[in-house]
A and B are shown apart, each in its own frame.
Chain A
Amino acid sequence: MTRPNSHNESIKALPDVVGTYLTFMIGTEEYGVDIQSVSEIVGLLPVTPVPGSPPVVLGVINLRGKVIPVLSMRILFNLGIVEATKHNVFIIIENDAKLIGLSVDQVREVASFTKDDIEPPPNYGLGIDAAYVRAIGKSEGKIRMLLDIKRVLDLHSKSN
């Protein structure tokens, strides 16, 4: 689909995408975030909604005395909300010394991606905003979208 030259160039631009990711399910798709940014995973905690916040923000939770915001990945990716199951968890991400939780349907595994497993994202057909995706990981017969955490966390604050 892409010409070999630009493909290789894009790969060269992705050296920092190589690495280990925590993967999780949102709807029927599997996504991954850089394991370095993950602080912990917690089961669902009571959420207090915050008036005046964008729809993607579910609210805030009490994480051992710290009040941190949590986002709904389903809403971010424009899927409807469904009833929580026992698999739903919050992935607590640390970004810029701040903690934010992401509500996901189910955590999958910790997977490593080498440069042979990674491809740049196509410009269309992803089903979600391409800006969120740093690269596509193809390994073990699965396609997983590796997310750009900074974009995910930033975009939400601009949308409303």
Chain B
Amino acid sequence: MAEQDSLFELFIAETKDHLELAEESLLRLDRFPTDMPAIESCFRAIHTIKGSAGFLELVRVQNLSHACETVLDQLRNKVLTASPACIQLLLQTVTCLVQEIANLDKGIRGPTDIDGDLLTALANISNEAAEKIANPTADIPDDLAIMEDFIPEVTELMNQAEGLLINPVVNSDSIQGVLRSFSTLTGICSYLGFSKIALQSRNAEEALTDTTGVPLLNLSQQQCLSILEIIDVIRKLVKSLDSDPKPTPAVIANAPADKILSSADTIFDMMEMNDLTPETSENETNAILAPGTFPKLVNENAITRQGILRTGGEGFSRIAIAKLEELVNLVGELMISQSMITDDVSTIEHPRLRHSIERQARIMRELQNLALNMRMVPLRSTFKKIARAAHDTAHKLGKDVLFNIQGEETEIDRTIADGIADPLMHMIRNAVDHGVDSPAERAKAGKPAKSQISLSAVQAGDHVVIKMEDDGPGLDPEQLRKKAVEQGLLAPDASPSSNEAFQLIFIPGFSTASKLTEFSGRGVGMDVVLRNVQSLNGTIDISSTIGRGASFIIKLPLTTAILEAMLLRVGSHRFLLPVGSVIEASQPTPENIRSVLNRGRVIESRGQLLPIARLSDLFSLPGGGVEPGQGILLVVEHFNGRYALEVDEILGQQQVVIKPLSKSIPHHPGLSGSAILSDGRVGLILDPNRLLPNSTAA
């Protein structure tokens, strides 16, 4: 033990020195961003820290320094330029490490708050840099208007081809289908002058035909994958066209060629000979990215940012998202204005006026439905992306998985569809990685031979529920608990329930993977997934039976914009409750209300005993509200069950435009947003899932 103590003390002392050196180097780098010796010495310092921390099993220090080291390595290899933001982040990391060491020195072992955010931020930088070199850019056409039609067309063609290729059965018909897509694409590109894309497309065509030009009768797995990779490259080339009207031509590194060369096909030899390889110029060793400015990020969602307006099935038109949002906003305001007029007019005795206003109101409602509808898109394209990711992951991991999708025609607000793609992507990779057990285990457990992962979407009230379910080993609450304690994220004597144990995976830095795989186990995933889902005003819940499987349930609001809500009053305060959350409302008589020991007051509803929660108590509102038992009870859904919310009065129901509550103001978690009421005042919107104390997820 003494030996270990002195090792520890030595580590603390040495690390303090290293951190000082690292900080010095970073400060120097701040003034001279191209100072390579500074980068080198910082890298060495952090690298050493990582090693020693690993040896002493100080996981947090190790994780932080690893993330930091990755970024520094990229700086060293000039894959990344040292922007002020990047240096700031590194300095923050060093500060965090200093604090961590100080804590360890004092014997405090607990998470420092900055950890998760820092790890995420560092990971983002290194991922962006890695992606930068993987993103080739295409030729820049002179006439940007051509792109308007070209891009959706290419997207459609590639989606078609991909769909045929990831099908379990690829026969000569599907091969011809794929070939047709590529032929069409080659034709268009040659005509419009997109030579790089044309070249890729021709390569694909050649891979699909034999030497005499006849389509192949079948394709090996390997060949399918090669073509899928060409599809990916073409998509990236297209993305680079759409993201920036005047993309800065960037010199590309080896990455794409390497990635493609992983397949032994000769097509890819041909690819090496075109401009996907770095332009060797005298300046090759200097910044691989455009010198001077920090490179503009290719917007992953550039293509999806343009909305498509369906005009009675006759074709499509591209409309900027900003215009659509402005339109929906204005229609929303118009609705409020309308209801204000209706209110004012209701006291006037003027039949014709009332009649005209009613007619106007009807037209307004139709207009609003239309506006809302314009923002809705089916989840199909998002799900297709996930299907592709599932296929790729399964193949890379050598797992045989049956993947099925249901409800892809379910529609949801376009920004939500975009926003949910990344979280789902991560989750599907997790599912394939951890949610699939081996054939032997399956046989023992009496499960069917092929593992199954299913993704489904269904509309429920004013929400869309997306479920990802696997029939693998499931989540083991005890194992989760142990890992959390090991990583210092949970007190050793804590005894979480199964549900609480499941929630542990959402803590930043948590990971049960025994090794870092390419896909998961980095420990930076599920907390980001949770945050993304929450930023869409959604929720994630987990349910699992050990040995039988796990399911992740994401609930998302149907639209970001408009809500049908009940207006409630407690004392002199008014609140809005989404109509979709209310199961029933009643005015109970004293006989129905009972008091249960330790559980407070309960009411019987549909054969169940539900706890009663008073809104005035939950919010500590001054001037309480009516006497208990005199108010109205609203039965609402909570992910752990139902309960009854007690308020003074229901004032009515109205449609409101949701305005987010400023994030810079801390507030009760049970408030999900705000809206303007018909008298011009602000009403706060309630979220029944988060009203009760202890109901917030990690």
Contacts and interface: CB of A to CB of B under 8 A. Distances in A.
A4 interface: no
A69 interface: yes
Interface in B634-686: 659-662, 664-671, 674-676, 680-684
Contacts of B131: none
Contacts, number: 71
Nearest to B330: A65
Contacts of A114: none
B620 interface: yes
A65 B681 CA distance: 10
B684 A100 contact: no
Contacts of B680: 46, 62
Contact of B667 (A53, A61, A65, A67): A53
B661 A62 contact: no
A152 interface: no
B333 interface: yes
A49 B662 contact: no
A78 interface: no
Contacts of A98: 662, 664
B568 to A, nearest CB: 14
Nearest to A160: B666
Contacts of A61: 682
Interface string A55-94: 0010111100111110000000000000000000000000
A157 B619 CA distance: 19
A51 B682 contact: no
B659 A157 contact: no
Contact of A157 (B660, B666, B676): B666
Contacts of A141: none
Nearest to B618: A51
Contacts of A66: 659
A39 interface: no
A49 B623 CA distance: 14
B573 interface: yes
B697 interface: no
A48 interface: yes
B620 A51 contact: yes
A22 B536 CA distance: 38
B621 interface: yes
Contacts of B333: 65
A53 B667 CA distance: 5
- Most A CB contacts (10 A, CB to CB) among B665, B670, B681, B684 go to B665
Contacts of B659: 66-67
A58 to B, nearest CB: 11
Nearest to A71: B665
A51 B671 contact: yes
A57 B684 CA distance: 15
A51 B668 contact: yes
Interface residues of B, number: 26
A100 B618 CA distance: 27
Given A48-B684, A50-B684, A51-B671, A62 B676 contact: yes
Contact of A69 (B664, B668, B669, B671): B664
Contacts of A65: 333, 676
B682 A48 contact: yes
Most-contacted residue by chain A among B333, B667, B676 (CB, 10 A): B667
Contact of A153 (B664, B667, B683): B664
Interface in B619-636: 619-621
A51 B665 contact: no
Task: Select the residue from B659, B664, B682 with max chain A CB neighbours within 10 A.
Answer: B682
A69 B666 contact: no
Contacts of A122: none
Contacts of A62: 676, 680-682
A122 to B, nearest CB: 29
A70 to B, nearest CB: 10
Nearest to A154: B664
A127 interface: no
A43 interface: no
A54 interface: yes
Contacts of A48: 674, 681-684
A140 to B, nearest CB: 35
Contacts of A46: 680-681
B51 to A, nearest CB: 37
A52 interface: yes
Nearest to A60: B682
A51 B666 contact: no
A49 B665 contact: no
Contacts of B670: 51-52
Given A60-B682, A62-B681, A53 B676 contact: no
Contacts of B666: 52-54, 157, 160
Contacts of B681: 46, 48, 62
Contacts of B621: 51
Interface string A126-153: 0000000000000000000000000001
Contacts of B664: 69, 98, 100, 153, 157
Contacts of B669: 52
Interface in A13-67: 46, 48-54, 57, 59-62, 65-67
A54 B665 CA distance: 8
B560 to A, nearest CB: 15
A67 B665 contact: no
B661 A67 contact: yes
A62 B679 CA distance: 11
Nearest to B574: A48
Nearest to A99: B662
Contacts of B667: 50-53
Nearest to B329: A65
A51 B619 CA distance: 6
A157 B665 CA distance: 6
Interface string B77-114: 00000000000000000000000000000000000000
A53 B671 CA distance: 11
A66 B660 CA distance: 9
Contacts of A69: 662, 664-665
A50 B661 contact: yes
Contacts of A100: 662, 664
A65 B658 CA distance: 11
Interface string B581-621: 00000000000000000000000000000000000001111
B85 to A, nearest CB: 15
A153 B664 CA distance: 9
Contacts of A60: 661-662, 674, 682, 684
A137 B618 CA distance: 46
27 contacts: A46-B681, A50-B668, A50-B671, A51-B620, A51-B667, A51-B670, A52-B666, A52-B667, A52-B670, A53-B665, A53-B666, A53-B667, A60-B674, A62-B676, A65-B333, A65-B676, A66-B659, A67-B661, A67-B674, A67-B676, A68-B662, A69-B662, A69-B664, A69-B665, A98-B664, A153-B664, A157-B666
Given A49-B573, A53-B666, A62-B681, 16 more contacts: A46-B681, A50-B665, A50-B667, A50-B684, A51-B621, A51-B667, A51-B684, A52-B666, A52-B671, A53-B665, A57-B665, A60-B674, A60-B684, A65-B676, A69-B662, A157-B664
The 3 tightest CB contacts between A and B, nearest first, are A52-B668, A51-B619, A48-B682
